[in-house]
Amino acid sequence: MGASGGGSGGAGARRDACTRRAAGSAARAARGVQAAAAPGGQRRAAAAHGFGQATAPRGARATGRRQGGHLTAERAALTPLERAGKNCSTRPRPSAGGASIPAHLGHSYLDLHAHSTDASDDAGGTVEGYLKWIVARRRKGYRIDGFVLTEHRQFDPGLDYGTLAAQYGVTVLRGAEVETDAGHVLVYGIDARFTRAFDLADVALPYAEVFRAAREFGGFAVGAHAGRPRIGIAEHVAQRGISLEHVEALEQLNGGSSVAENARAAALASAHGLGGIGGSDAHFVNAIGRCLTAFRRPVTSIEALVEELRAGEYHALRVEETLPQAVHAGESGNAW
């Protein structure tokens, strides 16, 4: 009886703690709303206490969607307290660090789509800001092993983030996001042959040729945010009958796309037997790592990334699915 009573008391204490955490999160969310409504000078002062986060572009604010991520309709309908409590479990939380995550759920978790102030003119997040954010997320139990910078319409082979990445223990790799006549494409494993074959600044590169050349030159290409209008391939397949002959994978989970757009991308990938990756499409610090790709083996170099993508043993997931309690509860819905 004593043991039973102690267990009940422990569960009650955990529920109380959960409620307090939810209330605290709700209070922080309310302060965030107040800060967003404050005059520009006050917002800048508030931002100075974070990780250098910038406000979204004016166009993104006007549509109610923050670049690199958004609230789903279901979560937007909840109060801040309900949203905070929704992810709060009464189960004891295993220690952070990923050791408790079964190996079959993935050895490496990488965000395959990110932009920085170093090379993307619409980005507000710095590489070091991303690294600091990831370290902070890890302390809360999330698994984010690294990310790939896919800057818009360019690839500078001279940029090297190895030393900075090593300071934070985070993998930083580099690719590019190019624009084609049938949507945007993420390219990994770019070398001089690829940059000689294509002018990356061109906003209407031949879609099929980009995919074909990426593989021929030892890399790998993925259709970016495939479910979005105009800049995703799904619309071009539906309206223009674009062939997917050379396409091997699509970005089916994008942090800046809507639920419907991601569902459209996933349906297209499934219908054509294509792989599906996850990427945050981060342009600002607090978006990095929201959507990830899980790999069976360690991925710490661009060569290893290309090898794993070509092997096809990966899946897309949201960062919440890497939490120890989600894994132990069997909530990581993507199986190999």
Question: pLDDT tens for residues 224-275?
Answer: 999 999 999 999 999 999 999 999 999 999 999 999 999 999 999 999 999 9
Cβ pair 43, 34 in contact under 8 A: no
- Cite the beta strand spans of 8-61 per DSSP E: none
pTM: 0.69
Q: What is the CATH code of the structural domain delimited by 103-328?
A: 3.20.20.140
Measure the CA–CA gap between 126 and 119, rounded to whole angstroms: 10
Cβ-count burial 205-244 (b if 16+ within 10 Å, e if not): bebbebbebbeebebbbbbbbbbbeebbbbbbbeeeebeb
Residue ranges of domains in the chain: 2-54+67-84, 103-328
The per-residue pLDDT for 76 is 42
The per-residue pLDDT for 123 is 85
Question: pLDDT tens for residues 133-149?
Answer: 999 999 999 999 999 99
Measure the CA–CA gap between 322 and 103, rounded to whole angstroms: 12
Q: Is the dihedral of CA 235, 241, 246, 248 positive or negative?
A: positive
> Could you tell me the end-to-end alpha-carbon distance of the chain, in angstroms, rounded to an integer?
43
The residue ranges of the chain whose pLDDT is under 50 are 1-15, 17-104, 333-335
Phi and psi at residue 167, to the nearest 5°: -60, -30
Cβ pair 111, 125 in contact under 8 A: no
Residue 171: strand pairing partners? 146
The per-residue pLDDT for 106 is 62
The per-residue pLDDT for 331 is 54
